[in-house]
A and B are shown apart, each in its own frame.
Chain A
Amino acid sequence: MIKKYRIIPFFLVFLIFLFTGCGSKEVESLAVVTLVGVDYTNENGKDLYTVSSTILNPLNQKKEGEQSTDKNGQEKVLIGKGRTMEEAVINFTANSSRVPFYGQTSAFILGERMAEEKASEGAEAGIRYGENRPKIFMMVTKGKAVDILQSEPTTDKLLSKELKDLAMNKALTNGFSCGIFLCDFTAWLESPDRDAVATLVNMVPSEEPDSSQQNLVQGLAIFRNDKLVGWLNKEETMGYLLLTQKINRGQIPITVIKDHKEFSYYLGTSKSKIQPVVNGNKISYRIDIKTMGAITESAVLDLNAENIKELESLIEDTLQNLTMRTVNKAKEFNSDFLGLTEKLHRTNLSAWQTLGPEWRKAFCQAEVEVVVDAKIVQTGNIAGKLNIRTK
């Protein structure tokens, strides 16, 4: 008889992990949060936060096996305001009978003013709350985050999925931007030697006939310490990607001009190496970039071996110009989001120690040399040039 009960303690251990806990979080009562937007204003000297979130709309979910092409109403936006972020969160759930669950959140979107003044609070709340995952994307928008959350997806059924897929894959592959995880963003904010960037998402006029506006993940938000200080446009972002990211399956067209005619260098892979050079008190940086790509559209060029060498040299000049624009922008913002000082700190400790709190000033004064080695490795199905009669 006693032997029968021996199983009870082990059963108890397993029960721990099957309990829902005391928070009434039954699956059918959850409001699954997919995006969180945080806006900040200061009214009459008092902080006011607006937290908005999209939740999967329980009223519009199809039964198993049913196909739906309707992209409207799949997600519902809840908005709350409060003097603290926590108060705003509670207020946005006040009119919902469901319990919010943040384990499926794809991205945190900070409004412009929130990013300018309270970015660290946003990051801290994101990391501290237990349900949030470290690989949530950190995004910033020009204007208000709530506007992004209220917009409709363009090609997907869920706005959250569309933004996540854009940040995770498309942005870097196409050279528009890159996804920044919450944990990396927070680590940068805490770091003593580099500044942070976040993915920029904006609403732009739509080219689709059935919608007036669409979201565009393009560009980056630039921080100095924990404050938003500016933006990188498409070209500057491309420079950032070349300088800092390892691009593997890129499909990035780089426009190059030869003899007043434009053609595209289709960049496929890229990797970079930053080398700090310390000469006495003078610090400079050499950045080597190696790219490989193809030329897949060229009715004007004869792609023979000799010409390819010449074209590679032109591509190198173009890429160098792109990257130098980004370096100059970083100096203009007094923000080392490229991680040059971080590299100096890691590889030449004594030089870093002599900089002390003046490291940003040293970064702005440092000479940066970018050396690009661009290769054209493919020319498509045509060896040289199609001999098309024009007369």
Chain B
Amino acid sequence: MLLFMIIMSTGVLLVPGLTAEKSHQSAWIAIGFTSLFGFLCLWTVLTLGKQFPLYTLQEYITLILGKPLGKAIGGIYIVFFLMANIITVREFSEFVTTTAMPATSGLVFDTIIVLIGAYAASKGIEVIARAAQFVLPLFVFSLLFLFICLLPVSQFGRLQPFLEGGIQPVIWGAIPPFPVYGEVIVLAILLPHLNKPKEAKRKGAMALLSAAIFLTTGMMITLMIYGPYLTGDLLFPFWYLSRYIEYGTYLQRIEGIISLLWAAGIFIKVAVYQYVVCYMIAKILELKKHKIVIYLMALILIPSAAFLFSNTAELREFVAWYWPILGIIFQLGLPLILLLIALIRKNQGWTYS
């Protein structure tokens, strides 16, 4: 559930527009196709977890690469997760200021979501997971409602021609959603916290598959309503899709409710990332409790989210190009290298201490 919420909560915001901008009518293939990389990430993380069952990512990095290098890369991972949270918080404030309250400073929304996330993180991962149990059905309902209302007015012809321009546009379009699916990397921290670690494989795959189905369906319907070119120009295509719902005068203007449910989903994601970052910092500094750093991290997170990107265009460009590169390195590249080294050493008969 947590994994699904982490992927979907920001997957429905900027990414669909970025994918459609590059892939046009093939965007639904691109966004579905990228989930394969998500499965690869999941497999890597779970296999590493199997090799080091009781350890988190930063702990087995130290075991595999030695203390100095391991600590350094562990530290870089903290920055990576912090950056992921900064982007999530900023996407949330951009979403609210663009769609609902344009005259309010984004800093207000950054502060609110970070403080709520910090409060949830201070209560621990179980509390966040319980909150996700409550939010998930509402979040899924909002998407299903959106799809059901718009399917009758969709024009299937707008998905044609199939694969125009070959596979190249699909590959370009697959770049922005990569870090969205790659967020399964948080499992590398959360795996030792699971009470049923054996189910991680099945449930992780289910979460990824469900997210892929929802994102692909959403992308298809958006393309069928707005066409490939307008969809690619929209900042938040899925939200703009919700504004299309108008059945007479009795069912319309439901985007407010949908935004509220999506905001609840983003809150879960922010809380998880805050927990993960603070937990990792506590481990690296060998602190007994991670709660001490939570509100200190909030003080870093709020101004970073508010001022790291000076406008929406900068954020969009970063999410489109630079963040996927970092995603490929930290969500797939480094874990694969770690796994390779671990397996080679295992074959050579190494034992970790």
Contact = CB atoms under 8 A, between A and B. Distances in A.
B245 to A, nearest CB: 9
A1 interface: no
B229 A13 contact: no
Contacts of B229: 187, 190-192
A21 B164 contact: no
A10 B260 CA distance: 12
Nearest to A190: B229
A349 B164 contact: yes
A12 interface: yes
A146 B120 CA distance: 55
Interface in B213-261: 225-227, 229-230, 233, 240, 243-244, 246, 253, 256, 259-260
Contacts of A23: 101-104
Interface stretch (B109-117, B141-149, B180-188, B299-307): B109-117
A195 to B, nearest CB: 14
Contact of B115 (A12, A21, A22, A25): A12
Interface stretch (B92-100, B192-200, B283-291, B337-345): B92-100
User: DSSP majority for the A interface?
Assistant: helix
B230 A190 contact: yes
B328 to A, nearest CB: 31
A186 interface: yes
B29 interface: no
Contacts of B225: 183
A16 interface: yes
Contact of A19 (B104, B161, B260): B104
A19 B260 CA distance: 13
B260 A186 contact: no
Interface in A130-145: 130, 133-135
Interface in A153-210: 183, 186-187, 190-192
B109 A135 contact: no
Contacts of B66: none
Given A133-B243, A190-B233, A13 B100 contact: no
Given A187-B227, A187-B229, A12 B243 contact: no
B264 interface: yes
Given A22-B104, A22-B105, A191-B227, A347 B161 contact: yes
Contacts of A186: 230
B210 interface: no
B126 to A, nearest CB: 16
Contacts of A345: 160-161
Contacts of B96: 16
A347 B98 CA distance: 38
A8 B36 CA distance: 41
A239 B26 CA distance: 33
A349 B115 CA distance: 53
Contacts of B267: 13
Given A135-B244, A190-B227, A190-B229, A21 B103 contact: yes
A134 B225 CA distance: 11
Interface residues of A, number: 30
Q: How large is the interface on B (under 10, 10 to 19, 20 to 34, 35 or more residues)?
A: 35 or more
B161 A134 contact: no
Interface string B201-221: 000000000000000000000
> Which of B103, B120, B230 has most A Cβ within 10 Å?
B230
B226 A349 contact: no
A287 to B, nearest CB: 15
Nearest to B111: A12
Contacts of B112: 12-13, 16
B192 to A, nearest CB: 28
A7 B252 CA distance: 31
A347 B157 CA distance: 9
Nearest to B227: A187
B227 A9 contact: no
Given A133-B243, A135-B246, A190-B233, A9 B119 contact: yes
Nearest to B92: A16
Interface in A335-359: 343, 345-347, 349, 352
Given A9-B115, A17-B260, A346 B161 contact: yes
Interface in A104-118: none
Contacts of B227: 187, 190-191
A130 B99 contact: yes
B263 interface: yes
A243 B109 CA distance: 50
Given A16-B96, A347-B161, A130 B102 contact: yes
A130 B119 CA distance: 32
Interface in A17-34: 17, 19-23, 25
Nearest to B246: A135
Contacts of A190: 227, 229-230, 233
A153 B63 CA distance: 79
Contacts of A25: 103
Contact of A17 (B100, B230, B240): B100
Contact of B240 (A20, A22, A103, A134): A134
A12 B161 contact: no
A21 B160 contact: no
A30 to B, nearest CB: 14
Given A135-B246, A183-B244, A346-B157, A21 B226 contact: no
15 contacts: A9-B120, A13-B116, A13-B264, A16-B96, A16-B112, A19-B104, A20-B101, A23-B101, A23-B104, A130-B102, A133-B246, A134-B240, A190-B230, A192-B229, A349-B164
Given A10-B116, A130-B99, 20 more contacts: A9-B115, A9-B119, A9-B120, A12-B116, A16-B96, A21-B101, A21-B103, A22-B101, A22-B103, A23-B103, A23-B104, A130-B102, A134-B244, A135-B246, A186-B230, A190-B229, A190-B233, A345-B161, A346-B160, A349-B161
Closest 10 CB pairs of A and B: A23-B103, A21-B101, A346-B160, A190-B229, A187-B227, A9-B116, A22-B103, A21-B104, A187-B230, A349-B161
